[in-house]
Amino acid sequence: MDRSTLRTLAARISVALLMATLGALSVSVGAEDLRVGTWQLVKRQLPDGTVLTPPKVGGMYSVSPGSIVHHNVFWTTPEGKPASVGGIIKYQMGDQELIGTRLFGAFDDGSGKGVVYAPYGETKRVPVKREGNKISYQHPFDPPFIVIDGDTTTATLEGAFIDTWERVK
């Protein structure tokens, strides 16, 4: 993939990653899985080993007790242009399945082409793997693989990035 395609893919995956991360943290069968509160993106590792931190990349999201997640993520493109993604999504998580429904999604890849909106009301289901306190699954809308372990979440898209999120205490 050329660098521009990889950046666009990484940006779109950031949207998906955030939605997936937020969804998995919002609702579950057991109270021990309910991670209501505020989370922040603390770093993004690129395939070449470069680690980006705020203000080059950052994000926050809130998880409500009612399974609604509101998120915003921003980053600076290699050309120095601002890019961002935001959304509102409702999730349900069971012992073996995650169900996500997009209520709102917006993505600006920093190219100047304008904001792209995600389809409202789209619902998808994916299997969930549980190992003790760890929850993992493939994102229902896009390619990153999500692992939630306590107060840390990682989202990995092979060849694009590894994002690390931490719960704000």
pLDDT per residue over 74-115, tens digit each?
988 888 899 998 888 888 888 888 888 989 989 999 999 999
What backbone torsions phi and psi does residue 84 show, to the nearest 5 degrees? -160, 165
- Checking if the pLDDT of 12 tops 60, the result is no
- Checking if the pLDDT of 9 tops 50, the result is no
Asked whether the CA dihedral 118, 124, 127, 132 is positive or negative, the reply is positive
Average pLDDT, the chain: 79
pLDDT at 78 (0 to 100)? 84
C-alpha distance from residue 169 to each of 22, 66, 123, 151, 166 (Å) = 16, 20, 31, 9, 9
**Residue with the larger pLDDT of the pair 11 and 67:** 67
Confidence of residue 69 (pLDDT cuts 50, 70, 90): confident
- Checking if the pLDDT of 28 tops 60, the result is no
How many percent of the chain have pLDDT more than 70? 79
Q: Rounded to two decimals, what is the model's pTM?
A: 0.76
Task: Find out whether 11 and 137 touch, Cβ atoms under 8 Å.
Answer: no
The length of the chain, given as a count of residues: 169
107-117 in b/e burial notation, b at 16+ Cβ within 10 A?
Answer: bbbbeeeeeee
Count how many domains the chain has: 1
Q: How far apart are CA 92 and CA 99, in angstroms?
A: 5
Residues of the domain holding 149: 3-167
C-alpha distance from residue 51 to each of 46, 87, 93, 130, 161 (Å) = 6, 25, 31, 29, 9
Quick: pLDDT tens for 100-153.
898 998 999 999 999 999 988 999 899 999 998 898 988 777 778 989 888 998
C-alpha distance from residue 154 to each of 20, 45, 122, 167 (Å) = 11, 11, 24, 12
pLDDT at 19 (0 to 100)? 43
> What DSSP element (H or E) covers 27?
none
